[in-house]
Structure 1
Amino acid sequence: MTNVSVVRIFTLSGIDETLNYRISIFSLTLLYYCVVLFLNISVIMIIILDENMHEPMYILLCSFCMNGLQGTTGFYPKFLLDLLSSSQEISYEGCFIQAFIIHSFLCCDLSILAVMAYDRYLAICRPLHYHSFMTKWRLSLLVCFSWMTPFCISSINIVLTSRLKLCSTYIHRLFCVNWMIVKLACPEADTFSNNVVTYTIIFMYVSHGLFIFWTYMHLIRTCVRSKDDRVKFMQTCVPHFTSLVTFLVVVLFDLMHMRFGSTDLPQSFQNFIHIELLLIPPVINPLIYGFKLTKIRNRILDLVYTENYFSIKFNL
């Protein structure tokens, strides 16, 4: 066995089977990454530039899309380079940075979803008190909470993992994940602290999930009694609920495979399971919010009509 503290290099798996299709996969991945960037940046810029959208719901959506950009940027550039490289290696430091980005991205997503659920609860169930509760100061605190808490717990997790003595440098993934690094620890390594932090994180985010469930129970009960509230629920809560379900499905699927999945599955299928959390939510989220939220949809249509008008006028 080799101690990684001496080698300083990790080897990533998963690309070897695609040697004959690298150029095609590279082209499709680059195109997909450009779509992710375009969709999320478009929503962010529309919200920032339109003062009518400087409201809590849209500011939280802007934060949501920014987090999507953070997570995808932690994976796609390195993956594209790996497709063009003869060996899929990553430095010790680079692996921990990537693991930190991916981990904080996932935690931050659920934190923002919890804050968005709280915002919708106040808007629909406590409309008379909404503006007194959701002040600029409180909104700033909630946004900071949804970003800083994942960053802090991810940092603690990474620091604890970096102290482990590792007896392998081969990661069975397309990218670095903290749990996969911990699994490389030597048998005599003390992983008790890592396990404590892991279970603490699980408890925290299960609490987030229970809080979201509680808010939706109140939302549904309120909307049953009022037609106006049902319309508001369909317009603003359905995108949130879709994002939440998408996130939970892909994360739980990945966690179940990471803990209990068989290595006998085709490598291409395993790769899809590994990257679906960076493949589906970053595209689905801006699309469903862009089409469902009236202000954003109208703003997009205005831009399209204006562009078409100038194009026709220029051609004439």
Structure 2
Amino acid sequence: MVDLFVLHGLNVTQTNRHIYFVFILILYLFTILINVTLIFTIVLEKMLHDPMYLFICNLCINGIIGASSFYPNILFQILFDSHVVTYIGCLTQIFFIYFYVHCEFTHLAVMAYDRYVAICKPLHYHSIMTIKKVWTLILQTWLFSWLECSIGVVLLARLPLCSVDIDRLYCSNWAVLKLSCVDTTIDNIHSYIYIFYHFFQAIFILISYVNIVKVSLRSVVQRRKFMQTCLPHLITLTNFVMSLLFDVMYARYGSNTSLLALRNIMAVEFLVVPPLLNPIIYGMNLSQIRNRVTQMINCKVVPQ
């Protein structure tokens, strides 16, 4: 029975260890700050309790989960010069990273559906996207993601392992699966089901946006609505999918002889970039959020 794993992705010298620690800590705190700011802005402002903003709020909550599944562990490694993680700690990190990815993709699919109804069926939008339906979609996203990730981690935990060395900055499902001493066919089948599920979500998003673009080309009003509400979603979607594909392809087919810095960047991009950029993209592009955040800041700066 394996009790500890050794992570080999980090190579920080004693001289620059504290510089890396401060930089990563600032990046983590800033990521949390901007996500929390957007969450509280949407929660406190009743005018922002529309479906689109509720989905954005949940996207930010998930961004905090994703960032927190990575940053604390890497900060601990750098500060204490420790590359060891417990078996339970490793599986916990895998669960939350798995959960973050599943939730992110599903949230983006739900948001694509919301934008499709808003632009392609504007007269029926409020009758289709009721508050009850919105909260049902949000609840199903969280619950189904939790169930899917629990199954994945349980399947992984049953495997006997022949090694404790993980050539990554953090624990991942694929990295631990490669250490197994026995056949992993069941785990591979589960992984392919997981991949096909997200593939069909991607097809659904693509079909939604093909219809959205067709409708948007018909009038100036619809084009303006597309640029304001759909463009941020497309940027978020592209950013996340590309980051995730980099990690998956490099983890499975990348060479261990490549530059360590390149391997690390490609491995953590989907955990670092989307949680950082999503609230910035939505905060800058959606005038309702931008104006409300500006008002909140001004109220704190200007003395009463």
Please confirm whether the aligned pair reaches a TM-score higher than 0.5, indicating the same fold: yes
In 1: Cα distance, 2:189 partner to 2:14 partner: 40
In 1: Cα distance, 2:288 partner to 2:189 partner: 45
Once the two structures are TM-superposed, the CA of residue 280 in structure 1 deviates from its matched residue by 0.7
Q: Which residue of 2 aligns with 1:290?
A: 283
Question: In the alignment, residue 171 of structure 1 is paired with which amino acid?
Answer: I
Contact 1:17/1:267 (8 A) holds in 2: no
In 2: Cα distance, 1:34 partner to 1:129 partner: 41
Contact 1:72/1:278 (8 A) holds in 2: yes
| Aligned residue runs from structure 1 range 141-156, under 5 A | 141-156=136-151
| Aligned residue runs from structure 1 range 55-134, under 5 A | 55-134=50-129
Where 2:16 maps in the other structure, the secondary structure is helix
Where 1:175 maps in the other structure, the secondary structure is coil
Q: Which residue of 1 aligns with 2:184?
A: 191
Give a deviation string over 1:238-270, Cα, whole Å, max 9, x none.
000000000011111111101110111111221
Contact 1:14/1:268 (8 A) holds in 2: no
Q: Closer, same or farther in 2 for the Cα pair 1:150/1:48, shift >3 Å?
A: same
In 2: Cα distance, 1:123 partner to 1:102 partner: 31
Once the two structures are TM-superposed, the CA of residue 141 in structure 1 deviates from its matched residue by 1.4
Q: Which residue of 2 aligns with 1:203?
A: 196
Q: Which residue of 1 aligns with 2:246?
A: 253
**Residue 51 of structure 1, aligned match among 16, 23, 46:** 46
Residue ranges of structure 1 left out of the alignment (5+ in a row): none
Q: Does 1:20 align with 2:10?
A: no
In 2: Cα distance, 1:90 partner to 1:35 partner: 26
Question: In the alignment, residue 295 of structure 2 is paired with which amino acid?
Answer: D
Question: In the alignment, residue 77 of structure 2 is paired with which amino acid?
Answer: D
TM-score of the two chains, using structure 2 as the length reference: 0.97
Question: In the alignment, residue 46 of structure 2 is paired with which amino acid?
Answer: E
**Residue 231 of structure 1, aligned match among 224, 240, 254:** 224
Contact 2:38/2:283 (8 A) holds in 1: yes
Once the two structures are TM-superposed, the CA of residue 19 in structure 1 deviates from its matched residue by 3.8
Give a deviation string over 1:31-69, Cα, whole Å, max 9, x none.
000100110000000000001111100000000000000
Once the two structures are TM-superposed, the CA of residue 154 in structure 1 deviates from its matched residue by 1.2
**Residue 171 of structure 1, aligned match among 147, 166, 191:** 166
Q: Does 1:220 align with 2:213?
A: yes
TM-score of the two chains, using structure 1 as the length reference: 0.94
Question: In the alignment, residue 109 of structure 1 is paired with which amino acid?
Answer: E
Once the two structures are TM-superposed, the CA of residue 305 in structure 1 deviates from its matched residue by 3.0
Q: Does 1:139 align with 2:134?
A: yes
Residue ranges of structure 2 left out of the alignment (5+ in a row): none
Question: In the alignment, residue 57 of structure 1 is paired with which amino acid?
Answer: M
The share of aligned pairs that are identical, in percent, is 39
Once the two structures are TM-superposed, the CA of residue 17 in structure 1 deviates from its matched residue by 4.2
In 2: Cα distance, 1:68 partner to 1:224 partner: 33
In 2: Cα distance, 1:276 partner to 1:177 partner: 14
Q: Closer, same or farther in 2 for the Cα pair 1:292/1:203, shift >3 Å?
A: same
RMSD: 1.1
In 2: Cα distance, 1:210 partner to 1:16 partner: 40
Give a deviation string over 1:268-306, Cα, whole Å, max 9, x none.
221111111111111110001000011101112222333
In 1: Cα distance, 2:39 partner to 2:229 partner: 17
Once the two structures are TM-superposed, the CA of residue 128 in structure 1 deviates from its matched residue by 1.0
Where 2:258 maps in the other structure, the secondary structure is coil
Q: Does 1:269 align with 2:262?
A: yes
